[in-house]
Amino acid sequence: MEDHGGIQPMRPEDVKVCVLTIEGTNCEDEMADAFRAVGAQAEKVHLKQLIGKTPPETRKDLEDYDILALPGGFSAGDYIRAGAILAARIRSSIGKEVERFVDDGRPVLGVCNGFQILVELGLLPAFDETMSKTATAALYTNDSGRFECRPTVLRNDNRGKCIFTSSIEKGRTLVMPIAHAEGKLLSLDPNFVQRLEDNDQIVFRYVKEDGSKAEYPWNPNGTESDIAGICNPAGNVMGMMPHPERVITRLTHSDWTRNCRSMEGDGLPIFRSVVQKIR
């Protein structure tokens, strides 16, 4: 029997996921369905329900959930920096609860706009504290200057810290689509990539189909060191630009009619990893 160090993992059906929405989030249905596909309970929750701005019977408490997921979209229109408005709203309302949630070791996933929000919130890269006071990195406009929707190939470069890749072997490549205009991870810190590397915070890198170093369009946005996804130093907060929730089945992969190894989509292992590992 596997040693769980005395703490039993939760049964998947007991895992409660909060999929957070506000106006302009639009990938919440597929995000909730992705968690359901691995047996968890997922609920779409509007930020107003968490901060007590709705009738009492519809209010929710972040404390009651085991996983927090921030789906993609254009929160509040993203008319200023992507993710900035929602991040500011979260920080000013339930910032403390979110910080406690993360300190508690509970997993937080941000995809696309969700990743941008995690960076704006200071939950990523979060080198020195759980939630830095101000953002220390940003997701900047793609080198092409355009919104792009295309498949990408990702390599799992995490050495074992990130809970979301716990069941994915290191070096395995996964195909997932991106759909964003701002996905180039930047920081003013000259040692940014090295620090991520040292802390085992790099989760996914864009690569070519054969696993070799990416260039455009395989690296779709020009991000430094081809980084597609990172986690916090504790490994329980992960943000990524590609959309794993869109490839839960092989049938939504872009080339499945010529390349159909199994019916399982490449996004599924991410959700399975976290739901199996949570305790």
Write phi, then psi, for 268 (nearest 5 degrees). Answer: -55, -45
- Report the residue from 151, 234, 264, 277 that binds another protein according to the rule CB under 8 A: 151
Name the residue nearer to another protein (CB basis): 98 or 248. Answer: 248
Measured CA to CA, the distance from residue 202 to residue 158 in angstroms comes to 6
Longest dimension (CA), the chain: 54
Residue 254 CB neighbour total at 10 angstroms: 14
Q: Between 10 and 39, how does the x/- string for binding to another protein read (CB under 8 A)?
A: -------------xx-xx-xx--xx-----
Query: For residue 20, what are the β-bridge partners?
Result: 45
At its nearest, how many Å lie between another protein and the CB of residue 149?
Answer: 5
5 binds another protein per the rule CB under 8 A: no
59 binds another protein per the rule CB under 8 A: no
248 binds another protein per the rule CB under 8 A: yes
At its nearest, how many Å lie between another protein and the CB of residue 9?
Answer: 26
Point out the catalytic residue in the list 28, 30, 120, 245.
245
| Alpha carbon distance, N-terminus to C-terminus of the chain | 17
4 binds another protein per the rule CB under 8 A: no
Q: Restricting to residues 208-247, name those near another protein by CB under 8 A.
A: 209, 216-218, 243, 245-247
Convert 152-183 to b/e letters by CB count within 10 Å (16 or more is b).
bbbbbbbeebbbbbbebeeeebbbbbbbbbbb
User: Strands, DSSP E only, in the chain?
Assistant: 16-21, 41-46, 67-70, 108-111, 138-141, 148-156, 173-180, 182-186, 202-207, 227-231, 237-240
Query: What are the helix (H) ranges across 8-142?
Result: 28-37, 47-50, 84-103, 113-121
DSSP state for residue 265 in the 8-state scheme: -
Name the residue nearer to another protein (CB basis): 123 or 241. Answer: 241
Name the residue nearer to another protein (CB basis): 132 or 249. Answer: 249
DSSP-derived 3-state class of residue 72: coil
58 binds another protein per the rule CB under 8 A: yes
Sign of CA dihedral 85, 33, 64, 167: negative
Name the residue nearer to another protein (CB basis): 136 or 254. Answer: 254
Name the residue nearer to another protein (CB basis): 6 or 55. Answer: 55
Name the residue nearer to another protein (CB basis): 194 or 259. Answer: 259
- Report the residue from 61, 63, 147, 170 that binds another protein according to the rule CB under 8 A: 147
Summarize as ranges the residues that interact with another protein (CB under 8 A).
23-24, 26-27, 29-30, 33-34, 46, 48, 54-55, 58, 72-74, 76-77, 144-151, 153, 175, 177, 179, 209, 216-218, 243, 245-248, 251-252, 254-258
Catalytic residues: 112, 243, 245
